[in-house]
Amino acid sequence: MKRQESRWGLVTLFLVLGCAAEFFLMQRVIRDCIEKPKDYIQWEHQDTGLVHMQNFTYDENKQALVVPQGGRYFVYVGVNFRMPDKDKVSGEVHFLSLKVLKYSNSYENNWPIMEVKDSIPDDRRGERRTMYTGQVVTLEEGDLLMVSIDEDNYELIDCSAETTMFI
């Protein structure tokens, strides 16, 4: 009987020690999560609605994002195009071109860093095309990033509520 009681005492002791260890471990994990700086992307900016800026600023005059600090960045851009619903069809093919340009004080010129091309036939009423591209690029503080689309294709940009454009 005594042996059985001592075994139960040991089991209880290990159970209490295990629970205490788990409690202290969880407290440390919670503290680390609270104290760690946020190094993840916040997809909704507080001041600008559904825009992610993360220290980037937007230059209204140059219509470009301004790079906050030098480093390597993964730049990703996507735009949705849609053929309008129209009565008359010309049979032409619309060639779509999407470029990401970088302006740097060291080059003082717009330099294409990414480009993607596609086409959409005129007879495809309501058809959508999503063009996207992305890559890691080295940027310097103050560099400007711009998106360029052929002027002929502005009318094909799909700005409806269910689509998104991003850079």
pLDDT tens sequence across 38-80: 433 333 444 545 556 678 888 888 888 899 999 999 988 888 8
One domain for residues 97 and 140: yes
One domain for residues 92 and 121: yes
The answer to the question of residue 107 being in a domain is yes
One domain for residues 146 and 101: yes
Mean pLDDT, the chain, whole residue set: 72
Residue 35 predicted with pLDDT over 90: no
- 4 or 59, which is more confident? 59
- 158 or 14, which is more confident? 158
Q: What is the mean pLDDT of residues 105-124?
A: 84
Return the top range by mean pLDDT from 33-42, 93-102, 149-158. Answer: 93-102
Share of the chain above pLDDT 90, in %: 16
Entry pTM: 0.62
One domain for residues 65 and 137: yes
Question: What's the CATH number where 132 sits?
Answer: 2.60.120.40
Domain containing residue 14: 1-36
Distances (CA, A) of 10 to 4, 16, 75: 10, 10, 59
| pLDDT of 41 | 34
